[in-house]
Amino acid sequence: MIKIAITDLALSFEDFSFIYGEDKTNLPAVRNINFNLNQGDVLILAGPSGSGKSTLSYAMNGIIPWRLKGFMKGDVKIYGKSIWDYNFTELSKLVGLVKQNPLEQMTTFTVKDELVFGLENLQFDKDIIEKRVREISEFMGISQILNRDIEQLSGGQKQLTILSSFLIMDPKILILDEPIAFLDQQSESMLLTQLKKLKESESFKTTLIIIEHRLSRVMDIADRIIVLDGNGELHLNGKLSEILINNFTPLKSCNVRLPWIIDLYNDFKEISLEYKNTKNPTNFNELLEIQQKLSKENLLKLRALLIEKEILPKALEKFKSFEEVIEFQDLYIESLKDAHDNREEQTVNKDGNNYILKTNNVDFLYPNSGIKAISNLSINIQKGDFIGLVGPNGSGKTTLLYLLANLYEPSRGTIYFNNQNIRDIGALEYAKQIGFIFQNPENMILNSTIKDEILYGPKNFGMLENISEDYMTKLIRIIGKEKSTKNPFKLSWGQKRRLNLSSIFVYNPEIILLDEPFIGQDQRTIDSLVETLYLENKRGKTIIISSHDYHLLLKYTKRILELNRDGTVRDFDNKDNYFSKHRNLGPTLLLDSIDEMLSGVLNHK
């Protein structure tokens, strides 16, 4: 066994580059990386999709070079020792890596079994194991699900479980790949609070590396930030607070999802020159303090900017006319430009309403468990709806999408498509109408090349002759600069999700269902994805997005469907009404504050 001396310097990259595979002529995933990290630091590792963040994490815990082969230059040192001087087992004990997809690392059948698995393999005493399980499950808030089967957990519950299974091993360095991606607001707040406690704990002294696109979620925890660019090179490296204040433009150029507060104020400074040299606010209270001191003229400027950036995005105005040629930042599916406006062919049901999907008293119970995921659900979804599906972890959002896609059969009740029971429609015929982006993108990858994966649907639906090579090229471009022959499982998480999107766009379904589509995506990709979905919705497609990202739903959807924890409907209303009733989002709160001030100014006049 190698003895490890814990020093202040926890991690160092020294001129590190890495090329995957056996061909030296391939472009490096990362190149010439140099940085150090001290024991107890909390680092945000950011950058666009495919920039090499996961590659760096693999090099930290020994997956590179011991499990993934390729060509490596330079060195990576953990507590002063090269990764070449550790064996894989020793290094994996020292450095824990919680991957983006929790199912990749789950090996047992229940939550408790998952927590005890590592300690049992290391032959810890039973009493110590029970004590650690109790402490960590309470610390992470999962005590109530210890006996739950893994397959019955929501995505967020799986994320909390796998994170707990690593914490129980007491790693000295812990890497978290988008740890809050699948969590509802309550679970997210709880996890971030626990991570902050972990950072401040004298007993743990854990070095945390958080891979995250959404800086606003983790900026209160982190000390430092490293940002990679699209070429896998180190673009920014420094204290987070200084980078946000002094390097905002270079940070934005890397397509990181910036805190809306800073993004808004930075644009405000461009149109209010007297504030040009002022310091960017780093939290909501600082922004409110600035807003309280603004003149009426500047309040009106800030209000207009807030609406066009965060509430009614001005970027989508170009879609108002179907005759205009629409240019996307990264992608544009040319063959859709001349598609017929489906709104003219809407089918009106017998009750006089234009419902494309309707559920009538639907229940769903997981087999052999007694757990009811959906309860007495009766909703009407209009053709051309753009719905945000929200609710806490375990409320049945994913289950509902599965039911609407005819992948699950209701335990009770009926689901109608165009006023016809979907059980009476042929499975293949109904599948043609549905495009489903799963929460885990690998769940719908079935082929060994990108091209074959995209053509899988058209092949099964008898549509191959309708797909031109030019159209295929554009669909592959959505994924990135990749060869059509590349194995889809070698793509990044974000690229796999974009491959899913291409594989459903290709057969032009009537309904598009998306389960957490924004996870693992940089800002530019999200913009392109939303623009594409918005355009499809304008052409009559019905779209339902399940997401915990209320901020994006505020900007882009038409209606919000909210589920309670017991799988019942809490609210189903148009977006404006919903966010008026649930004013707990920063942009809506800021708008209220500005309007209150403007009202006071006008009344005073």
Over residues 391-414, the pLDDT tens digits come to: 988 899 999 999 999 999 999 999
The domain containing residue 236 runs over which residues?
A: 9-252
> Do strands 559-563 and 569-574 pair parallel, antiparallel, or not at all (unpaired)?
antiparallel
Taking the C-alpha atoms of residue 407 and residue 431, their distance in angstroms, rounded to an integer, is 10
Mean pLDDT for 3-23 is 84
Mean pLDDT for 439-461 is 91
Whose tokens are 């957990």? That residue is 153
Task: Let me know whether 247 and 352 are in one domain.
Answer: no
Mean pLDDT for 16-28 is 91
Task: Let me know whether 239 and 341 are in one domain.
Answer: no
pLDDT at 324: 36
> Do strands 412-417 and 420-421 pair parallel, antiparallel, or not at all (unpaired)?
antiparallel
Question: What is the DSSP secondary-structure string of 129-175?
Answer: HHHHHHHHHHHHT-GGGTTSBGGGS-HHHHHHHHHHHHHTT--SEEE
Task: Let me know whether 218 and 357 are in one domain.
Answer: no
Residue 56 near residue 262 (C-beta atoms within 8 A): no
272/99: higher pLDDT:
272
Structure tokens at 77: 């040192």
Give the chain's largest Cα–Cα span: 79
Task: Let me know whether 347 and 483 are in one domain.
Answer: yes
Mean pLDDT for 212-236 is 90
Mean pLDDT for 79-102 is 88
185-200 helix and 126-140 helix, angle to the nearest 10 degrees: 120
**pLDDT beyond 80 at 66:** yes
Quick one: three-class SS letters along 125-137? CHHHHHHHHHHHH
Q: Count the Cβ atoms, other than its own, within 10 Å of residue 557.
A: 26
Taking the C-alpha atoms of residue 187 and residue 395, their distance in angstroms, rounded to an integer, is 13
pLDDT band at 72, cuts 50/70/90?
very high
Structure tokens at 246: 């002094």
Reported as a single tens digit per residue, the pLDDT across 321-340 is: 543 333 333 333 343 334 33
pTM of the predicted structure, to 2 decimals: 0.77
Residue 173 near residue 79 (C-beta atoms within 8 A): no
Q: Is 311 a domain residue?
A: no
Task: Let me know whether 98 and 224 are in one domain.
Answer: yes
Q: How far is CA 401 from CA 212, 227, 303, 387, in A?
A: 26, 35, 36, 12
Q: Is 1 a domain residue?
A: no
Mean pLDDT for 569-588 is 82
User: Residue 59: which of 23, 20, 5 has the closest Cα?
Assistant: 20
> pLDDT exceeding 90 applies to what percent of the chain?
44
pLDDT at 588: 86
Mean pLDDT for 197-222 is 83
Residue 207 near residue 248 (C-beta atoms within 8 A): no
Q: Is 71 a domain residue?
A: yes
Mean pLDDT for 112-133 is 92
Q: Is 279 a domain residue?
A: no
Taking the C-alpha atoms of residue 284 and residue 282, their distance in angstroms, rounded to an integer, is 7
Taking the C-alpha atoms of residue 478 and residue 330, their distance in angstroms, rounded to an integer, is 7
pLDDT band at 93, cuts 50/70/90?
confident
Buried b (16+ CB within 10 A) or exposed e, 168-192: bbebbbbbbbbbbbbbbeebbebbb
Domain boundary among 195, 227, 252: 252
Q: Count the Cβ atoms, other than its own, within 10 Å of residue 299.
A: 18
Give me the chain's average pLDDT, please: 85
pLDDT at 1: 41
pLDDT at 340: 36
Q: Does residue 78 sit in helix, strand or coil? A: strand
Residues with Cβ within 8 Å of residue 400, at least 6 apart in sequence: 374, 377, 389, 546, 563
**pLDDT beyond 60 at 342:** no
Q: Is 186 a domain residue?
A: yes
Task: Let me know whether 241 and 383 are in one domain.
Answer: no
Q: Does residue 543 sit in helix, strand or coil? A: strand
Task: Let me know whether 247 and 370 are in one domain.
Answer: no
Q: What is the DSSP letter of 72?
A: E
What CATH code is carried by the domain that includes residue 523? 3.40.50.300
The secondary element (H helix, E strand) that includes residue 376 is strand 372-382
pLDDT band at 315, cuts 50/70/90?
low
**Domains in the chain: how many in total?**
2
pLDDT at 209: 96
Taking the C-alpha atoms of residue 92 and residue 381, their distance in angstroms, rounded to an integer, is 49
Q: Is 527 a domain residue?
A: yes
pLDDT band at 601, cuts 50/70/90?
low
Mean pLDDT for 377-391 is 94
**pLDDT beyond 90 at 386:** yes
Q: What are phi and psi of 237, to 5 degrees?
A: -155, 115
pLDDT band at 521, cuts 50/70/90?
confident
Residue 290 near residue 302 (C-beta atoms within 8 A): no
Burial tier of 267 (Cβ tally within 10 Å: 0-12, 13-18, 19+): middle
Domain boundary among 217, 252, 287: 252
Taking the C-alpha atoms of residue 306 and residue 234, their distance in angstroms, rounded to an integer, is 32
191/584: higher pLDDT:
191
pLDDT at 327: 35
Residue 154 near residue 188 (C-beta atoms within 8 A): no
pLDDT band at 4, cuts 50/70/90?
low
pLDDT at 12: 96
Task: Let me know whether 343 and 212 are in one domain.
Answer: no
Residue 354 near residue 348 (C-beta atoms within 8 A): yes
pLDDT band at 112, cuts 50/70/90?
very high
pLDDT at 337: 39
Burial tier of 291 (Cβ tally within 10 Å: 0-12, 13-18, 19+): buried
Domain boundary among 208, 236, 252: 252
pLDDT at 364: 95
237/501: higher pLDDT:
237
Task: Let me know whether 519 and 396 are in one domain.
Answer: yes
User: Residue 437: which of 309, 536, 363 has the closest Cα?
Assistant: 536
